[in-house]
Amino acid sequence: MVKIERFQTDSALVGYFGIFPEETDTSGTNRDGTPKLGISFRMSKKGNDLVRRLLYTAAQSAAKHNPAVRGLFARQAAMGKPYNVIIGHCMAKLLRQVYAVWTKDEDFDREFETNEKQAKEKEKAVGSSVVEPQSKEVTTTDSKVIESKLNGKRPPINFAAFKSQLLIAEVLRSHNWKEGTSQGQQLRGPCPIHKGDDNDRTFAVHVGKNTYCCHSCQSKGNALDLLIAIVRSIAP
């Protein structure tokens, strides 16, 4: 995303990652000779495929532990929707939560939607209407509170610092990389991306610079680039 200001609405963010159904033409016949319906829907292929896979896994977890997503999953399941369709709705819900938290610059509140729903039901029950608060004089205390809130606003995410905290040695260790030879901070061995054999030495790592390169598959970059490349190579 880089900056949330790039997206005017939460729907724009959902669309950016392609979490929406697209109409596909399925004219013709099935293997058993029966005619196809002609039109079907599948999730769009727009967006970063790695992010979509990670978001899919996150939605599966959120369906168990995130109250709002769990409720959405239950409602969709009660309607008889297929599992993948339900997870697609959960993925979109997660992105909308991300948009709300980031734009409002607030911590995630697990019970936000539950509390909001209860407040609306209570307001409807008593027949109350929204009343504009009367204006009041801004006092010195009010100014201090406002100033305190402004000073306490989160700074922008430092992506350079994030990358520097991800060590390439830890990435390799977590994927059981077998080191072949070493010379100081430079390591060589089989490539964890294109799966070279144990005698392969085309994959080189510089621990001090937190970088890598492979002379066979031409992959190179920092620790985050390596992690993404490995995940893509093992993804189904």
Among the ranges given (112-121, 168-177, 210-219, 221-230), the one the predictor scored with the smallest mean pLDDT: 112-121
Q: Percentage of residues in the chain with pLDDT exceeding 90?
A: 3
* CATH 3.90.580.10-classified regions of the chain: 165-234
Helix axes 67-78, 83-104, angle to 10 degrees: 150
Assess whether pLDDT exceeds 50 at residue 36.
Answer: yes
Q: What is the C-alpha to C-alpha distance for residues 156 and 183, in angstroms, rounded to an integer? A: 39
> 137-181: per-residue pLDDT in tens?
444 444 444 454 445 555 566 666 666 678 888 888 888 887 777
Q: CB under 8 Å, gap of 24 or more: what pairs does 141-148 form? A: none
The second-level CATH assignment, the architecture, of 165-234 is Alpha-Beta Complex (3.90)
pLDDT of residue 127: 60
- Token code pair at residue 139: 């006092």
What average pLDDT is seen over the chain? 76
Contact 59, 53 (CB under 8 A): no
Q: What is the C-alpha to C-alpha distance for residues 14 and 110, in angstroms, rounded to an integer? A: 21
Which phi and psi (to 5°) does residue 204 adopt? -120, 140
